[in-house]
Structure 1
Amino acid sequence: MGKYAHLNILLAEDDSSIRSAIKAMLFDLGIHKITEAADGEGALQNLIRTPQGYDLIICDWNMPNKNGLELLKDAKMRAPSTPFLMITGRADEESVMKALKSGVSGYLRKPFRMNQLESKIKVIADSWSEMA
């Protein structure tokens, strides 16, 4: 059992191949409680239907029906303490600052490697456990 096995993660990514790759990375890290959503609206519906909440939301920025920033705002209203990792191809400083000002816990630029994802999860999990 991995050190992150207890995490319950909501993964929102509209590209099914990227979503599958991220899920495989999470499995390799020992994380098996993963709820998937193909768009922001689906992710929001999962948030609404999951009263126990999630330990981490991993979300793409550019998605149909509700983008990552819109989902972040909804998530912060429903579960303000839930960490939110934004994944995106956007690397310009303005986008990064917009995400940070909106309350993301971490920002990861695509494409990324498993060790980069693990590093972000570790930082978020460590800071979250300190607050708990």
Structure 2
Amino acid sequence: MTTPNNKPDPLRILLVDDSPQSLKMTTRMLHDMGTTQVFTAKNGVEALQLLSSFDDEDIVDLVLCDWNMPKMDGMELLRQIRTCEPDLLFIMVTGQANYSAVAEAKAFGVNGFIKKPFSLDELRKKLKVASRIIAHRNPEPVA
């Protein structure tokens, strides 16, 4: 589903990145695309704390997470999220990844990858796919 301007439906996104500049730039990009709520965390530990503060109805639609971070990296965050929120969409953002790391992320159910640096168009495409998955999981009731 998309909005009239060919934008993905508004999503609630948890953005996890240890770079303040990346957080700011990506948050701006997400807001420009119509994302209504962007929550941010500087590492996996903060992200888990934030996720645990949400009610089941208020949980985010998608986690957009940097791979390499201090305290808890994106892979460990993915592993931990999968134990309590197996269906939460998770997109890994990385500047570099080797085949075995990508295979491991896929084994833990990552929903996609975005390679840094990424363009607004690349991010938009990933969010369109995420919106379709969410719409398919939660179809609108027939009147």
Tell me the TM-score normalized by structure 2: 0.85
Question: Which residue of structure 2 aligns with residue 99 of structure 1?
Answer: 105
Question: Which residue of structure 1 aligns with residue 135 of structure 2?
Answer: 129
Alignment match of 1:74 (pick from 57, 80, 102):
80
Question: Which residue of structure 1 aligns with residue 9 of structure 2?
Answer: 4
CA contact (8 A) 1:12 1:58 kept: yes
- Amino acid paired to 2:130: I
Could you say what the CA RMSD is over the residues aligned between the two structures, in angstroms? 1.4
CA contact (8 A) 1:25 1:114 kept: yes
Equivalences for residues 1-132 of structure 1 within 5 A? 3-5=8-10, 7-51=11-55, 52-132=58-138
Unmatched 5+ stretches in structure 1: none
Residue 28 of structure 1: CA displacement?
0.9
Of the two structures, which has the highest relative contact order with CA contacts closer than 8 Å and spacing of 6 or more?
A: 2
SS at match of 1:115: helix
After superposition, what is the alpha-carbon deviation per residue over 1:37-75, rounded to whole angstroms, capped at 9, x for unaligned? 011100000011112211001111111111101111111
Identity of counterpart residues, as a percentage?
34
Tell me the TM-score normalized by structure 1: 0.92
